[in-house]
Amino acid sequence: MRFRFTRLILYLVLLGFAVYYLLPVYVLVVTSLKSFAEVNLYRMWDLPHSFSLESFHRALVGGMGYQGLAPNILNSVMMVVPATLISAFLGSVNGYVFSRWQFPGANMLFTLALFGMFIPYQSILIPLVQTLRAIGLYGTIPGLILTHVIYGIPITTLIFRNYYATVPKELVEAARIDGAGLLGVYRRIMLPLSLPGFAVVIIWQFTSIWNDFLFAVTVAQNPAVQPVTVALNNLAGSFIVEWNVQMAGALLAALPTLLVYIFLGRYFMRGLLAGSLKG
């Protein structure tokens, strides 16, 4: 009897925390589904009486005196897809070399690269802007792609290195006895086994590039190329934008990474644990 009671309390506490974590989503969803007539800051916790997609419409295409997020969502897609694919490919090649081919100085080089994962990017912003200006990529989506690919090298290399380290030595040695060289082992052994590794890295890079704000606001100040995070911040910072449109915009900006998390959470977790160096 006492056992049952403590279990009940335990579940209630867990549910209480779940409510705490879900509060913001509740406000986001409830508010963005309210019609304009119904939106009232002092009734923000009330459920909507009617169902309306007006706020989503305005958040996407804009309203009186403000732009919608649709073009910025497109910008984000055009940035995040190539950047993610290129950095996954680079990470795979680097990770393979660092896990299996210990050329002299490889460990030192790897450690030096890892440090790049933790630096505050403020410490490279000024030369980055100058360099992108000099090569004509400042204020462009390719400029953002280049930036994300380069600063993604440490984490993608780390995840793939730890992943390839789990491939049995015997497999690699058997292929080498069969005459496979460095590229042969990669193509015949590593690449076919890489799918989970690619899933982890692609999800990780997709999430962090989609969510990035610092590079986006520094490199792409021009509204025509702004990713969605910058546009959302402008939308939410504007006094003329209705509150429910802000909430709908935030929900739209969050949706891609949320969906990835909900459907591919397992891989998301693995990237997370790799991000803390332990693999």
Partner 1 sequence: MGGKGPAQGRALFLDMRRRLKRDTILSVLLVLPSALAVLVFVYGFIGLTTYVSFSNWNRLVPDYTFVGASNYLRLWQNPRFVITLRNLGVFTGLFVGGSLALGFLLAVLLDRRIKGEGFFRTVYLYPLALSFIVTGVVWRWLLNPGSPQMGSTGINLLLEMMGLGFLKTGWYTDPRIGIIAVAIAAIWQMSGYVMAMYLAGLRGIPEELREAARVDGASELQIYRFVVLPMLRPITFGAMIVLGHISLKIYDLVVAMTGPGPGYFCDVPAYFMWELTFRANRFAQGAGIAVILLVIVSLLIIPYLRHSLRREVEA
- Mark out the alpha helices in the chain (DSSP H runs): 2-32, 54-61, 70-100, 106-118, 122-134, 141-164, 169-177, 182-185, 195-211, 214-219, 228-237, 243-275
CA-to-CA distance for 235 and 243, rounded, in angstroms?
10
- With binding defined as CB under 8 A, does residue 55 bind partner 1? no
Q: Which of 33, 83, 253, 274 binds partner 1 (CB under 8 A)?
A: 253
User: Which C-beta is closer to partner 1: that of 74 or that of 273?
Assistant: 273
Q: How far apart are the C-alpha atoms of 152 and 116, rounded to whole Å?
A: 9
Q: Which is nearer to partner 1, 35 or 131 (CB)?
A: 131
Nearer to partner 1 by C-beta: 141 or 158? 158
Residues belonging to the chain: 279
By CB under 8 A, is residue 225 in contact with partner 1? no
Residue type, position 119, single letter: I
Q: Does 29 bind partner 1 (CB under 8 A)?
A: no
Considering only CA atoms, which of 242, 241, 221 is closest in space to residue 230?
221
Q: Which residue's CB is nearer to partner 1, number 127 or number 192?
A: 127
Task: Map the footprint of partner 1 across residues 123-152, applying CB under 8 A.
Answer: 123-128, 131, 150-151
Rule CB under 8 A: choose which of 30, 85, 199, 243 binds partner 1: 243
Which one of residues 8, 36, 37, 45 is an interface residue with partner 1 (CB under 8 A)? 45
Q: Which of 220, 204, 213, 222 is nearest to 268 (CA)?
A: 204
66 binds partner 1 (CB under 8 A): no
Q: Which stretch binds partner 1 (CB under 8 A): 53-61, 133-141, 189-197, 270-278?
A: 270-278
For partner 1, give the closer residue by CB, 61 or 277.
277
Q: Is 210 in the site for partner 1 (CB under 8 A)?
A: yes
Q: Measured from the CB of residue 265, what is the shortest distance to partner 1 in angstroms? A: 6
Cβ neighbours of residue 220 closer than 8 Å, sequence gap 6 or more: 75, 139, 140, 141, 143, 144, 226, 227, 230
Whole-angstrom distance, CA of residue 57 vs CA of residue 45: 22
Binder among 207, 220, 223, 245 for partner 1 (CB under 8 A): 207
Q: Is 250 in the site for partner 1 (CB under 8 A)?
A: yes
Contacts of 161 (CB under 8 A, 6+ apart): 94, 95, 98, 99, 110
Closest approach, Cβ 143 to partner 1, in A, equals 13
Which residue lies nearer to partner 1 by CB, 24 or 196? Answer: 24
Residue 189 to residues 38, 57, 163, 181, 279: CA-CA distances in angstroms?
Answer: 60, 49, 13, 11, 21
Q: Is 90 in the site for partner 1 (CB under 8 A)?
A: yes
Check binding of 8 to partner 1 (CB under 8 A).
no
Task: Specify the stretch interacting with partner 1 by CB under 8 A; choose among 49-57, 60-68, 95-103, 136-144.
Answer: 95-103
Residue 164 binds to partner 1 (criterion: CB under 8 A):
no
Angle at Cα 204 formed by Cα 273 and Cα 136, nearest 5°?
135
Question: Site for partner 1 (CB under 8 A): which residue of 181, 192, 239, 240?
Answer: 181
